[in-house]
């Protein structure tokens, strides 16, 4: 039997603080570093915001009510600095197309932001966006850790036929997606 989105989010949030968070200067970590960070070359790449960004998106975790017929997904992850340390109070902002491939440019459907919690974690409940002409399936994000510049980027879905035909697609911006009993669960850690 598959897990539920809720149980996977609960498992993600139950993980103790990342081991590197407590690493004292000069001490070897007891567990391997997260492979996605630890080197400037591994910073999350930037991508264009596209034409549909709107400032002042509301503070919230749950967006799925904006598109009740969409396929549910919970997406979650950390904001890490270049030394793999989770960063609390980082801005994570999302905007994306609905289940017909349309963006809400009048209001704030499927738009939201939040600040990472004290362990540097973010999560949104939302839907899988539909394709729209010229693009593969994607979410738009803006991420900013305190004191740093804003990273504007996009996240992609694995195994999408359109990925290789999308000029913005990057395999380093793929969500790690799992199927669940009630939708999907996606994971991505931003390194900023």
Q: Which is nearer to Fe ion, 83 or 105 (CB)?
A: 105
CB of 14 to Fe ion, least distance (A): 33
CB of 53 to Fe ion, least distance (A): 9
Q: Are 132 and 151 in contact (CB under 8 A)?
A: no
Q: Are 37 and 172 in contact (CB under 8 A)?
A: no
* Residue written as token pair 């499927």: 110
Residues 6+ apart with CB under 8 A from 12: 76, 121, 123, 187
Give which of 13, 14, 33, 15 is closest to 23, Cα–Cα. 33
The whole-angstrom separation of Cα 69 and Cα 46 is 31
Residue nearest to Fe ion (CB): 50
CB of 54 to Fe ion, least distance (A): 12
Residues binding Fe ion: number (CB under 5 A): 1
Q: Which is nearer to Fe ion, 3 or 50 (CB)?
A: 50
Instruction: Choose the stretch contacting Fe ion; rule: CB under 5 A; options: 20-28, 48-56, 111-119, 166-174.
Output: 48-56
Q: Which is nearer to Fe ion, 121 or 138 (CB)?
A: 138
Distance separating the N- and C-terminal Cα atoms of the chain: 36
CB of 45 to Fe ion, least distance (A): 16
**Binding-site member from 3, 38, 50, 82 for Fe ion (CB under 5 A):** 50
Instruction: Choose the stretch contacting Fe ion; rule: CB under 5 A; options: 8-16, 42-50, 109-117, 182-190.
Output: 42-50
Give which of 79, 80, 82, 81 is closest to 40, Cα–Cα. 82
Q: Which is nearer to Fe ion, 12 or 132 (CB)?
A: 132
β-strand partners of 191: 80
Under the criterion CB under 5 A, does residue 19 sit at the interface with Fe ion?
A: no
Q: Which is nearer to Fe ion, 116 or 136 (CB)?
A: 136
Distance of CA 111 to the CA centre of its chain: 13
The whole-angstrom separation of Cα 123 and Cα 68 is 19
Q: Which is nearer to Fe ion, 146 or 158 (CB)?
A: 158
Site for Fe ion, rule CB under 5 A: 50
């Amino acid at each position: 039997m598959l897990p539920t989105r809720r149980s996977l989010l609960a498992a993600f949030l139950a993980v103790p603080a990342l081991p590197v968070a407590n690493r004292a200067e000069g001490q070897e970590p007891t567990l391997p570093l997260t492979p996605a960070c630890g080197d400037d070359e591994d910073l999350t790449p930037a991508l264009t915001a596209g034409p549909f960004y709107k400032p002042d998106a509301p503070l919230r975790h749950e967006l799925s009510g904006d598109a009740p017929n969409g396929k549910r997904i919970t997406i979650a992850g950390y904001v890490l600095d270049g030394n793999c340390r989770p960063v609390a109070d980082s801005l994570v902002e999302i905007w994306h197309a609905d289940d017909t491939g349309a963006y809400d440019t009048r209001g704030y459907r499927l738009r939201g932001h939040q600040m990472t919690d004290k362990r540097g974690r973010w999560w949104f409940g939302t839907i899988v966006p539909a394709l729209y002409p010229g693009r593969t399936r994607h979410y738009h994000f803006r991420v900013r850790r305190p004191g740093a510049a804003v990273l504007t980027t996009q996240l992609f879905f694995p195994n999408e036929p359109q990925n290789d035909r999308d000029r913005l697609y990057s395999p380093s911006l793929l969500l790690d997606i799992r199927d669940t009993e009630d939708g999907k669960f996606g994971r991505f850690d931003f390194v900023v």
